[in-house]
Amino acid sequence: MNAAEGRRIALVEDDGAQLDLLQHIVRFLGASCVPFPSGEKLLKVLERESFDLLVVDWNLPGIQGPEIVARVRELLGPAFPIVFVTSRALESDIVAGLRAGADDYVTKPVRPLELGVRIQALLRRAYPPPRSERISFGPFVFDLAQRKAEVQGKAVELQPREFDLAVFLFTNSGRLLSRAHLMQSVMHASPDVASRTLDTHVSRLRAKLGILPENGFRLSSVYGVGYRLDEVTE
């Protein structure tokens, strides 16, 4: 299984040739990528956007790689996967990068197949694939093979995009997912397209499945950012 398929990856790299290579690798894996020329721009965007993984260079204009990693770790927590890709190959550099909070460290010149495998390994660890084709979240059950949904044991008819959206939201519960993230990963559309399609799908999904606190989950709209599905524990 390709762990990168449909994922959204942020790249921080100011060298044009290196950025082109990284984008090629990410897209070859089936993921979408959003490039940033500096750490400052990434950190500003993180206020309203979400990603599944970060690839970051060390030597950058302004904030340097280790500080970027440390600040992203503070914002997104210990589980968010981060990879250093840099020309700094000394053992002391590798140790400093990992201590700053990176999960992996790849030195330049980049070997595309190796980086691709490392990215997929980190994504599998951060977002484990379902162990069964039938996954359940409280009263909500999704059959991934037959693409069918059930609530409280009763079948609920969902359109293809609604089913994809439901599975994505439930398997990413507890995460704030930006509109652009959902548009790219679920709707397979450009995040720049101004459309109410996503909101319509979310509204229908909430009604069809009965995603309500009394059923154990709350689906919230976060103004200016996107949506978040949370399990209700009380």
Q: How many other CB atoms are found less than 10 A from the CB of residue 13?
A: 22
| Residues in Cβ contact with 19 at an 8 Å cutoff, skipping those fewer than 6 apart | 11, 13, 35
| Residues in Cβ contact with 181 at an 8 Å cutoff, skipping those fewer than 6 apart | 8, 49, 50, 51, 191, 226
State the pLDDT at residue 131.
86
State the pLDDT at residue 190.
74
Among candidate residues 231, 131, 111, 125, the one with its CA nearest the CA of residue 175: 231
**Residue 104 above 90 pLDDT?**
yes
State the pLDDT at residue 174.
94
Which pLDDT band, with edges at 50, 70 and 90, does 128 fall under? very high
State the pLDDT at residue 2.
83
Q: Between the CA of residue 71 and those of 31, 33, 86, 148, what are the distances in Å? A: 24, 20, 18, 41
Residue carrying structure tokens 């994809």:
164
**Residue 130 above 90 pLDDT?**
no
Domains of the chain: 8-126 (3.40.50.2300), 134-231 (1.10.10.10)
- Length in residues, the chain: 234
- What digits encode the pLDDT tens for the residues 58-82? 999 999 999 999 999 999 999 999 9
- What digits encode the pLDDT tens for the residues 155-208? 999 999 999 999 999 999 999 999 999 999 998 877 666 568 899 999 999 999
